Structure 1
Amino acid sequence: MPSIRSYLNRLLLSLAIVTISIGIFALPVGATAVYEIPVVSAGVPTWAIDKADVLSLATKGTLRTTLAQLAKQTNKEVRFVTIHRLDYGDTIQTFTDKLFKKWFATDAEQANQTLIILDNVTNTIGIQTGTEVKSTLTDAIATSIITETMQAPLRSGNKYNQAFIDGADRLVAVLSGKADPGPPVIVSTPEVGRTYLKAEETEANRTNFLVVVIGLLIIATVIPMATWWWYQNQS
């Protein structure tokens, strides 16, 4: 007859498997924290930090040239950052706000700054601007740049280089005092069936998998325990 020690060992093993399984599926592998981004301050000629490694050397060179010229002519500084995966509890906008305040601690340092950050896992974009920038780059235009101008190339096939070049071109025009060229004109095309999962669908599948795994492990634990008690009652 199986001993109670063997059942307890099996129970402990099952609990350990549950804990490890939950940990594996819950950890945000490769999540980027604010402290991992190199420190930049006002006046420092660092215009693009590509932690997600999605920009070509040509795009980085174009951004450096374009944004350095903008800073020289207008004193307005624009910086782009890409990251790979947000940590739990962060949105792209809260991450952008935290990095903006870390880089530019005072109102004076923030005044002429614009910071745009993209997370390449969700393709979401955050933007933060200083008080002096808002006189030309209104909140409405800033929102349009990240939700329309930069998102259009991303929606058409994750064209990160095009997204950043288009965003920079519109920012430079507006911050230089020129007329806002506006968002791109989107030509509608017949909708085709998706062959990929949306982020929320992937998360739902992972949750369902965890529920099934935990349920099976509980069954694997309860049945042996019930069997042991039945044997005990029969003896």
Structure 2
Amino acid sequence: MKQLLKQVFSSKKHHYWLVLPFVTMILAASLFATPAFATGVYQMPNLAAGDASGKGKALRTWIVDQGEIVSRLNEGKIGSAFENLAKQTGNEVRVVTIRRLDYGETPESFAKALFEKWFPTKEAQANQTLLVLDTVTNGTAIITGDKVKSLLTDSIAESVATETVSAPLRDGNKYNQAFLDASDRLVAVLSGNPDPGPPKIADKVQVEGTFKKAGETDRGNATAWVVGLLIAATVIPMATYYIYQINQPSSDG
């Protein structure tokens, strides 16, 4: 009886150790398969009737910060500036941040689709400006309606997205500064004032450092994961077989 119980116990341990590698691989694979909060246009909230028409009396939505990168204080400052702009000129600006785009999507395609979702007619689009930022790549895009183009020309709009917003991001991902600068410039231009232009960037001596870029770090992490999985796939079955062997009942018994 004692020998029989030992065999049963060893058999159970054998099954546990056989299952362990598969569980490990499944869990590891799930880390790669899980989408990192990708956002599609279909997931974006609809604007209220007053938002879309520009005729609502209630405070409208100016910032949709799904990337969670703008402080509440600065969100309030920017929202107030856009609210005053809308009251004084009828021109409206909205800022959207997202964590990650759906596969195959670009900031430009996302911004265009969202612009058409929120403002489905040419009339609704006429006085609108939409600025979009993807926080994974720091990619930006800006879409404008027909009536605002006389003030916010395509070249100025492009400069706002690629220079005014991007400059603080290149200097340490200063998101709040980026949107404060962008809102100041957009409000000035859409109010009919002279374009203050992009921020002046002081020349800095480029000294080669030992720090990796974000892209290189991401690739390095991915490579480490793959190597680790390959090692686990090789070592775990060998360890399983070894443990199984040492748990086998002795032939002498």
The reply to whether TM is greater than 0.5 is yes
> Do 1:133 and 1:175's aligned partners in 2 also have CA atoms closer than 8 Å?
yes
Structure 1 Cα separation of the partners of residues 115 and 106 of structure 2: 14
Using the aligned pairs only, state the percent identity.
48
1:107 alignment counterpart: 122
Q: Distance in 2 between matches of 1:183 and 1:84?
A: 25
Answer with 78-87 or 191-200: which moved more. Answer: 191-200
Mapped pair 1:140 → 2:151: no
Secondary structure in 2 aligned to 1:82? Answer: strand
1:199 offset after TM fit, Å?
3.9
Q: Does 1:42 align with 2:57?
A: no
Which structure 1 segments of 5+ residues have no match? 1-9, 224-235
Indicate if the aligned counterparts of 1:25 and 1:206 stay in contact, CA closer than 8 A.
no
Distance 1:91 1:20 in 2: 30
**How many angstroms apart in 1 are the aligned matches of 2:225 and 2:180?**
41
What is the CA deviation profile of residues 144-185 of structure 1, one whole-angstrom value per residue up to 9, with x for unaligned ones?
111111112222222222111110111111112221111111
Aligned to 2:74: 59
Structure 1 residue 97, shift from structure 2 partner: 1.7
Question: Which residue of 29, 50, 71 corresponds with 2:36?
Answer: 29
Q: Which runs of 5+ in 2 are unaligned?
A: 1-16, 239-253
- 2:132 matched residue in structure 1: 117
Please tell me the residue identity of whatever aligns with 2:114. Answer: L
Name the TM-score, length of structure 2 as normaliser: 0.73
Whichever of the two has the greater Rg, that structure is: 2
1:178-229 C-alpha deviation (Å, 9 max, x unpaired): 2111111110112244565434323422443454356446757999xxxxxx
Alpha-carbon spacing, 1:220–1:128, altered in 2? closer, same or farther (3 Å): same
8 Å contact kept, 2:53–2:124: yes
Confirm whether residue 131 of structure 1 aligns to residue 142 of structure 2. no
| Corresponding residue pairs, total | 225
State the TM-score, normalizing by the size of structure 1: 0.78
**What's the Cα RMSD here?**
3.2
Check whether the contact 1:22–1:210 (CA below 8 A) recurs between aligned residues: no
